[in-house]
Amino acid sequence: MPQIAQLSATYASQIFWALIFFGFVFFVVGRGFVPKVQATVANRDKQIADDLAAAEAARRAAESEEANWAATSNKQRAEAQALIAKAKAEGTKASEARLAQAASVIDARMAEADARLATARAQALTEIETVASEAASDIVARLAGLSVEGDAARAAVKEVLHG
């Protein structure tokens, strides 16, 4: 077994070179590269975590933005509806007022026309009375040779006309 047979001749060399090479591995690879690799992994994990957090924050922001937008749009829609309702009510009121005005004008005109008709009729009646009384006095004068006073004739005609 060379491990034991050569022990006294080789132990110094074995221990020396093992220490040299393991020392190189420890100081150059272990303490040089390994922390770098660990830092890389840690950085990557941190970056991933940060990205995830940022994405989560962005999602929350988008959601709150959407909620805000929905609230604003609901409010605006309600305002618009109110505006429309008001305008409709106002329009109805205005048209009612104008209709009422127009109706009153028409009523006034009709009343005026009625009044004019009544006047015309009264005038016509008086004229007919006059004509009838003149005609009656004429007739009386011609048939009976009587001269009837104008007023008397008029009263008599009035009596006949109006019963």
Which residues in this chain contact other proteins in the complex, by CB under 8 A? Answer: 1-3, 6-7, 9-19, 21-22, 24-26, 28-31, 33-41, 43-44, 47
Least spacing, CB of residue 53 vs other proteins, in Å:
17
Least spacing, CB of residue 28 vs other proteins, in Å:
7
Based on CB atoms, which residue is closest to other proteins, 19 or 94? 19
Report how far apart the first and last C-alpha atoms of the chain are (Å, whole number).
172
Q: Supply the DSSP string of 11-70, one letter for each residue.
A: HHHHHHHHHHHHHHIIIIIIIIIHHHHHHHHHHHHHHHHHHHHHHHHHHHHHHHHHHHHH
Q: Which two tokens stand for residue 107?
A: 């009523």
Least spacing, CB of residue 55 vs other proteins, in Å:
17
Based on CB atoms, which residue is closest to other proteins, 21 or 69? 21
